A = this chain, B = another copy of it.
């Protein structure tokens, strides 16, 4: 679901020289594995056939696969049958969710240069690319927009993010009573109409600018991979940063007899109409705008002078009417029962619904998962007995709002909290570099796995290749993308092959969200990318087999590599004799988050002071061009000084406890008795649930994880220590104070559980 266009994310590592192949957790005095680990993983690799993944992909992506479509259901049924044929215990689990689809929609320029103009809202089929001739594709729409019929002047709001509204306000341009047009990019889609609505707009249009994924980036489809003028990006605009899943059943599974909200009370449904369009249509609307010249960072690559509007010159009529009926989700759930610890679950998932055919997103990841499942089935048939239970899921309805995974996780919450060890996710995949984000106690594990997977293009490990990219990116000033680029840990990893490469934190954008952020189940998201790009057809008619096989992953070799990566991780986790976690990595990472948050408090204080100085000196007015409208910014509340001591103490304690556990496990783990191991397993399995606090985050109690959350105003992007960080960012100073305490409580609870685990290892 999440677009990775322009995101340079990756991961890898471990001592090249010092690395002894195999799992530390299965070495030494632990019982010898039933089959040699290296041979087992070689069998896994051999059992995964890129060509077969390609054939599956072609079938699965042959027709539209949106929620409620016949083909999406058929795919679920076919996959369940496949799992069974591979020896898995598989079934479909169904949920009933509110899922709107448009009955009618219209977008017209009714005033201004170029009017009247009726937007085509149509993705033309591509001769020679058969599936694009389908009659069953969803039209141009974004799910959970609010129906409406409005006519109003247009305003261009760049990416439609909070800072863009500040820029508009500075120019004296209001969107109140207007229709906002914003381009894709810069933040999660759903925030664009939401922020427009919060600023008083009566409608919203989202378009794909050629600068971001169209002709400026590459030749357009079918000549190249980039977005053609008529291609538009569907997607969800449900307010998922409040809660994902069925809009009518927050916090509980959308089972037949679940208690449901009235639609009017579902606060994650947008209140204003919204449509997505391509840049062919957008150029006409944008050309009609007058008013201030768009600031440099607002300008895309259309051959026009971008204006922001603000007057009445360009007037638009926008109308959307939907069918707000219930639809059925089809989750595929398959198990391989554990031989020693059947109540320890390793859960792995990828979704199967797409906005149209969904070849790259999500089916490239889905066929990797199927490849793993078939291979694991073969290993079992050849004698392998995983110690823990392996649960493979193929989620439905991820695209509209992580529906299938959330409803399943909410339905099975108690069981997952009792049995879940880890959730491993993937989604759309492509050619290029290994990346992983996730719970930082698994950072070393992720590094070990990636050290043992071969990159199909270069023959080195995917970890070595990711490290090379990191090193070159840093040397060339490009970095790895993301805020953590230049952290000392990242620099060290770029230079020293003995160092683990830090992994990023999970925000949202795929099915791990509910597991990690609502249930406290540690999660990891794996993928490849950065060379084969599906960004240009993301969520469009053109994300199909031909596009994926020509431009995203020719030969399906990276889809197969994903299968080998995740399959390897699953095997190791299922068989691990001792915890694979290294809590020192988690503690160190949280410590850097605390440093960031403290720095943020200073920055916010300086910002308010500087602004007050500038306002009192009339500097904003003096620096402005008097021939243009200029509005001074709203005075910021001066920041108080915060007492970070409770959080500092908690992080210090966490580091101590984590260090003690890691040291104890390293020195005594191999000598533990069977009973001790079971006891240890029981503590460690539920450890991450201590990160949950029952009050949840301010204004969004569904999100209970005090370390990892998607940003309220970033949507996909992670916010770590979110209760404190976001409160500082948004100048909710009382919340910041309160969540310093709450977050400290969570970390203290985490450290206390770690101490219990250490006591087990130490035989106390």
Copy number in this complex? 2
Q: Mark A261-281, 1 if CB is under 8 A from B, else 0.
A: 000000000000000000000
CB<8 Å pairs between A and B, sample of 8:
A224-B305, A301-B301, A458-B621, A465-B623, A467-B619, A468-B620, A472-B619, A475-B607
Contact of A465 among B531, B611, B622 (CB under 8 A): B622
Give A453-479 as 1s and 0s: 1 = Cβ < 8 Å from B's Cβ atoms.
000011010001101110111010000
Q: Are B495 and A305 in contact, with the CB atoms below 8 A?
A: no
Say if the beta carbon of A626 comes within 8 Å of chain B. Answer: yes
Judge whether A210 is part of the interface by a CB distance below 8 angstroms.
Answer: yes
Q: Which residues of B contact A305 (CB under 8 A)?
A: 215-220, 224, 226
A615 to B303, CA, bound (A): 41
Q: Which of B210, B497, B611, B623 has a CB less than 8 Å from the CB of A303?
A: B210
The 0/1 profile, CB within 8 Å of B marked 1, for residues 294-335 of chain A is 000001011111100000000000000000000000000000
Complex interface bits, A594-629 against B, C-beta within 8 A gives 1, otherwise 0: 000000000000010011011001111111011100
Q: How many residues of A contact B (CB 8 A)?
A: 48
| Residue numbers in B under 8 Å from A301 (CB-CB) | 299, 301, 303
Q: Is A293 an interface residue (CB 8 A)?
A: yes
Rounded to whole angstroms, the CA-CA distance of A471 and B611 in the bound complex is 10
Q: Is the CB of B531 within 8 A of A623?
A: no
Residues of the B chain whose Cβ atoms lie less than 8 Å from the Cβ of A619: 467-468, 471-472
CB distance from A712 to the nearest CB of B (A): 23
Q: CB within 8 Å of B: which of A518-576?
A: 531
A468 contact from B226, B464, B469, B623, Cβ within 8 A: B623
Q: Per a CB cutoff under 8 Å, which of B216, B306, B457, B614 touches A472?
A: B614
Beyond the given pairs A468-B618, A468-B622, A471-B619, 15 more chain A to chain B contacts, judged by CB atoms under 8 angstroms and listed by A's residue number, are: A215-B303, A216-B299, A217-B305, A302-B303, A457-B626, A468-B614, A468-B617, A468-B619, A468-B623, A469-B623, A471-B613, A471-B617, A472-B619, A495-B613, A497-B617
User: Could you tell me the distance in whole angstroms from the C-beta of A97 to the nearest C-beta in chain B?
Assistant: 40
* A residues 338-384 in Cβ contact with B at 8 Å: none
Given contacts A303-B210, A619-B472, contact A626 B224 (CB under 8 A): no
- B531 near A471 with CB under 8 A, answer no
Taking the nearest CB of chain B, how far is it from the CB of A39, in angstroms?
28
Q: Within 8 Å CB of A611, what residues of B?
A: 475
CA distance A662 to B758 in the complex (A): 70
Q: Which residues of B contact A495 (CB under 8 A)?
A: 613
Tell me which residues across on chain B come within 8 A of A458, comparing CB atoms.
621-622, 626
Chain B residue numbers with a CB within 8 Å of A465 are 622-623
Residues of chain B lying within 8 A (CB to CB) of residue A531: 625, 627
- Residue with the highest number of chain B CB atoms closer than 10 Å, among A220, A306, A432, A497: A306
Contacts of A468 in B (CB 8 A): 614, 617-623
Chain B residues with CB below 8 A from A224, complex form: 305
Report the nearest B residue to A303, measured CB to CB. B303
Chain B residue nearest in CB terms to A306: B216
B218:A464 contact, CB within 8 angstroms:
no
Residues of B within 8 A of A475 (CB): 607, 610-611, 614
Chain A 142-175 interface residues, beta-carbon cutoff 8 Å to B? none
Counting from the closest, the 5 A-B pairs by CB-CB distance are A468-B622, A468-B619, A472-B623, A303-B303, A469-B623
In Å, the complex CA distance between A475 and B608 comes to: 10
By beta carbon, the residue of chain B nearest A294 is B216
The residue of chain B having its C-beta at the shortest distance from the C-beta of A495 within the complex is B613
A301-B209 Cα distance, complex, nearest whole Å: 12
